[in-house]
Structures are given as structure tokens and as C-alpha cells.
Amino acid sequence: MTNPDIPAGNSFRAFAFIVFLTSLLLGGCSTLKDKYIDQREPSHALPRETPTRLGQLAYTPPEDLPDASGFILLDSGMDALSSRLWLAGQAEKTLDVQYYIFHGDRTGAVVADALLQAANRGVRVRVLLDDIYVHEHETGILALDSQPNMEVRVFNAFRHRGKNPLIRLSQFFVDGDRLNRRMHNKLFIADNQFGITGGRNIGDEYFQAHEEFGFVDLDVLTSGPVVAEMSRAFDDFWNSQAVVPVRAIPGYNKARQQLPRLGEALSNARKSMEATPYWKELQARPLSAQMQSGEFHWLDGVAHTVFDPPDKIDGDSHISDLLLGQLIGLRVDPEEELLIVSPYFVPGKIGMDWFAYLRARNVKVKVLTNSLAANDVPLVHAGYARYREPLLEMGVELFELKPLPNTSPKKKNLAGSGSSRSSLHAKTFVFDRKRAFIGSFNFDPRSALLNTELGLVIDSPIIAQIVALMSEQGMAPLNSHRLSLQGKDDERKIVWTSETNQGPVGTDGEPNATRWQRFMMEMLMLLPIEENL
């Protein structure tokens, strides 16, 4: 998501004041209660040596690779949902959940019910959400926090609250530099023994449950030493000055009275979901059988958790402290090949310099991103479009994912679709088919410099090969358009080539896009907002 970031000069402050007064007149405004913010208590992950059922099921590294963790790639949205529900059901001591988006739709309700049921069993549940969408389900979130074993905190909170959208807009004018920086991390950790991270938020479109739209995404389920690193990342955010307990949000005392009603509604939502064909398919997945038996087919790898610090929102972090700097410190610079999958791809000057450096060393660079017709944020596509020609000129291979048609939910993974229209959402790098990055980081200025991000760098040729194959399946002619430059000098133009039932077809305009979409994209390209994309 791209949020406005408008300089707060005197004229803008005056305008913001007018907007703010208007919002007060239209629909009321309340403010966070400082006394509850000041009472924020620190807490930490469960010690890994604590005996738990999940500890007994946890990955055991081979003797020749004692520092390894075990991994299962979740390229199916159904597997991604079932693994989260299984962890919530198996947890005995703690659940730590951190997300940018947590929808209140069918799968969101099922996950929320699983968390509430865990809290009712006595599990300590910590939920950390970015505040950008909390207002959409604020009453329910406040009610969940009233369960004695569950605590919810929000990251980088809007100080003034209310349902009127002008209240939020006015704060961007006066505090835009801070509010434009969001927490994009995704974590789901049970008993500090099993964890999930990757590209998915919580919602129907991420788990193959949306009837009209879905994301092609990738998560990873892991167990082993790297989970402790993931927990430390969660704790850094949970205990940071950038988070606010939701009890500081006005209306908390009233909302907590809604917990019994909310619990009943979530239970009914789960029962309703269990009666659907979707649920039957989910239960029939091979991973579901592994979770039922407790015998997992792990892939071995030594991994490191890389993540931006929570104080990145202050805007003064050194590059070495950021996720990008940590990647550099791990020396993942490829020597032969780099594969990038990024739904939002805006390389900027730093990225272009890196690609030029790689190409000067004859490193093959292949990038898969969304086409205009598949992109859910056209503004970002406009930012990317400026770089296509110079990238192609330096020899970077570009592929744009088509808006894939409906097939079957079972086939929705990095190579296929499970909804009437799919958009790429996975974020992966593969370095020389020896190491792979899987996480929340998009290759754009927003992920690099504004939002906080998190991911795993996994040193494993097997995993890297699998992620590479997934990437190349997405780049295949049936699934993507391959871009090339044709013509000479001033007459050179970009051509999109892909496979159809009639054979290879090339076009010199944004494929599958309407004339209006193309016009709007050209207009958006004129806006000087790249640093916010």
C-alpha cells in the first residue's frame, strides 16, 4: 500500500487545521490515552528449553549440520492457513502474531477464533498489528484484548481516533513523515518452537478463499534455531517505543463488554467455514496429514533472520542496521545468477547501480513482477515502468505476470492461480541457486527506506533450487509476458511476448490492459513520488 507523504509547511499545516476542524464537525474525534501508553509492560519470548508438545515435535538437525533449521515451503494458500491454525491449536504456552493486515473476513475470523481459543486455554497470546487498518475492526480488536491472556498492541499509532476518514487524512498533513512509515512484517510463532513468515497477511485473498481475487504468494514454516531469532525480532517490536497498547484507544472499556458476543460470532464463523468445500480441500492437503501425524518432511538449511529495527520509523537509522545492510553483511552477492520475485518493483538509483555492477560481472539477472493488468497498486507500476527500458538495455531479463484465470484452488501456487484474477505477492531472491531470501521485502524504496520489513536468508541449495523453479514457472510464457527491446535508436520500443493457444504473440503496448488503464499509468508516471512507492 502507498500512503500520502505531504510536506508539513505552513500552508499545509493551515490546510490540515481546516481539515481537522471539518472532521470534528462531521463526526467527532478522540485521542489516545497517554496514561495507558506509559504503563506499557515489557514481555519476552518463551525460553526454548521450556517443555511443550511442540518442542517434542520440533525439528532435529542432522549431526553434520548442527546449526540447521527445518523448512517447509508454503506456496499453497490453503497450506499457509492450515499451518497457522495448527500452530494456534497446538500451542501450550505462547503465541506471537505480527501482521501489517489482519482482515475481518472469513479466514480472518477463523484465525482470530483460533487465537481466542488458545487464550481461553491459558496460552499467552501477543498480537501486534500495524495501525493503518485497525480502525476498520477496532471494536473487535479492543474486545479481544480484554481476554486476560491476550494482549493486542498497534505499531505507529494514529493519535486521533474516529471513523471519519478526514480525521486520519488530517494527521497525514501534520505528521506525514511518521505516519507514512508502516510495519510490513509478518510473523506467526508458537511456543518459540515453530514459526511462519513470508509474504502473506491474514485474509481471504492470501489463503485462496476469496471468490474473485487472490494473491500468488510464498510463506515458509520453520522449526529450529532460526525461530529464536524470529522471536527476538518480535520482542524488539513488541517492547519498542513505537507500539501502543490498544487499551489506550478510547472506547476500550465499552468494547470489552462485547467479548462474549464476539467469541460467539467467531465460533459461528469457524463452524460455517468447516461446512464448506474449501475446508474439505484444506483438510485433504498432504501438509494437513503431516501435521496430524506430527511427522514433517523438513528441508534442511542454515538460516538467518534479517529485519529492520522498529525505530526505522524515526528516519535516522544507519543503512548497516536496516534489512538491506544485514543482507550485505551476509555476503549474498551472487557470482552467476540472481532471481528476483517482487510484486512491486521500483529499483531506484541504488538498485540500478547494483544491477549495473552485477551485469558488468556477467551475472544473469531475472526479475518477475506484476503486469499492469495484474498489479493491485497501479501507482507502483507507474514507478516501475520508468525503469523498464534502461534495465533491458543493460541486459536484465524482465517478466510480468499475467492476470491468471481461474483454475482450481489446489493449483494456486507460484505457478498457477486459484481465483478469477491473481496478482503476484511473493517476495523472494535466489542467489546462485545456493541461498534464498523469503520474506516481506519488496524491491522498492518503500520497503528499503520507509516500512519495516522482515525475512529469512536460507543457506540451502535444495531450497534455493525449489524457489528458483517456482520463480521460473512464474516466468514461463503461459504465465508471464517476457519483455524485450526491438527496433533501432529512436524507434526502439518495448515488446511484450507471451504464449497463447495460437502460439507466441507479441504486443508493443501494456498487454491485457484497457486504454483507460494505459492512459492513467502514463499520467501517474509524471508524478514525482518515487521515494514513497
Question: Which residue of the set 93, 103, 160, 186 is catalytic?
Answer: 186
Question: Which of 390, 351, 371 lies closest to 482 in space, CA to CA?
Answer: 371
The H-or-E segment that residue 481 falls in is strand 480-486
Q: How far apart are CA 396 and CA 342, in angstroms?
A: 14
Grid coordinates representing 223?
A: 522449526
Find the DSSP H helices in 97-219.
106-120, 138-145, 165-179
From residue 383, give the alpha-carbon distance in Å to each of 4, 393, 428, 450: 15, 18, 20, 16
Q: Does 184 qualify as catalytic in the annotation?
A: yes
Q: Does 434 qualify as catalytic in the annotation?
A: no
Name the percent of the chain in helix, strand, coil, to the closest 5: 40, 20, 35
Grid coordinates representing 311?
A: 525505530
Q: How far apart are CA 192 and CA 227, in angstroms?
A: 6
Q: How far apart are CA 254 and CA 257, in angstroms?
A: 6
Cβ-proximal residues to 469 (8 Å cutoff; 6+ apart), any chain:
none
Q: How far apart are CA 148 and CA 256, in angstroms?
A: 11
Yes or no: say if 403 and 480 are a contact pair by the CB < 8 Å rule: no
Q: How far apart are CA 479 and CA 330, in angstroms?
A: 33
Q: Does 427 qualify as catalytic in the annotation?
A: yes
Yes or no: say if 300 and 460 are a contact pair by the CB < 8 Å rule: yes
- Please provide the DSSP assignment of 215-259 as one string: EE--EEEEESHHHHHHHHHHHHHHTSTTEEEGGGSTTHHHHGGGH
Question: Which residue of the set 425, 444, 459, 481 is catalytic?
Answer: 425
Pairing of strands 337-341, 160-161: unpaired
From residue 112, give the alpha-carbon distance in Å to each of 103, 183, 336: 10, 20, 45
3-state SS, residue 260: helix
Q: How far apart are CA 303 and CA 222, in angstroms?
A: 10
Q: Does 105 qualify as catalytic in the annotation?
A: no
Yes or no: say if 62 and 300 are a contact pair by the CB < 8 Å rule: yes
Q: Does 44 qualify as catalytic in the annotation?
A: no
Grid coordinates representing 349?
A: 538509483
Cβ-proximal residues to 12 (8 Å cutoff; 6+ apart), any chain:
6, 173, 174
Question: Which residue of the set 103, 304, 381, 427 is catalytic?
Answer: 427
Question: Which residue of the set 103, 184, 381, 402 is catalytic?
Answer: 184
3-state SS, residue 181: coil
Question: Which residue of the set 79, 113, 130, 191 is catalytic?
Answer: 191
Question: Which residue of the set 5, 75, 219, 432 is catalytic?
Answer: 432
Query: Catalytic residue positions?
Result: 184, 186, 191, 425, 427, 432
